[in-house]
Amino acid sequence: MTRAAATNNPYAEAEALALRALDLALAAVGSGEAHLVSDAAVRRLMTAAVKLYAAKADGEARSFRALEGRYDEVVRPTEALTAVTEVLRALRLGPVEFGLWSRRRPEDYHETGAGER
């Protein structure tokens, strides 16, 4: 993104904030200090991520990789399942609703990196 384009984008700050939030989260988890981040802060980050992902995926009619890394080197399967389970629980949704709404992705971005922007 050019400097001019960034200036015209009222949401350009989200790029730097996302990198900083990821760095802080990885540091907190890596040092065993995740407890120092409030539940409210985690809830706000999760809410922001879910809202933006859904708006981009639905609005742009495409799927893209939702997590950093190629497979599980950044987020482990157990971590992902823990978070997804709590998102579903917060909305009073279960496995049936999840199954009905799951998308079949048209590309295998997990292996090819397709869909990166």
- Profile the chain (117 residues) by mean pLDDT over runs of 10 residues: 68 96 98 99 98 93 89 95 95 88 60 53
The domain in which residue 87 lies consists of: 38-117
CB atoms within 10 A of CB 113: 12
Question: Quick one: 76 and 46 in the same domain?
Answer: yes
Q: Which two tokens stand for residue 117?
A: 């922007």
CB atoms within 10 A of CB 19: 10
> For the chain, first and last CA: distance in Å?
11
Question: Quick one: 53 and 21 in the same domain?
Answer: no
Number of domains in the chain: 2
pLDDT for 98 equals 84
Question: Quick one: 65 and 49 in the same domain?
Answer: yes
Contact 42, 87 (CB under 8 A): no
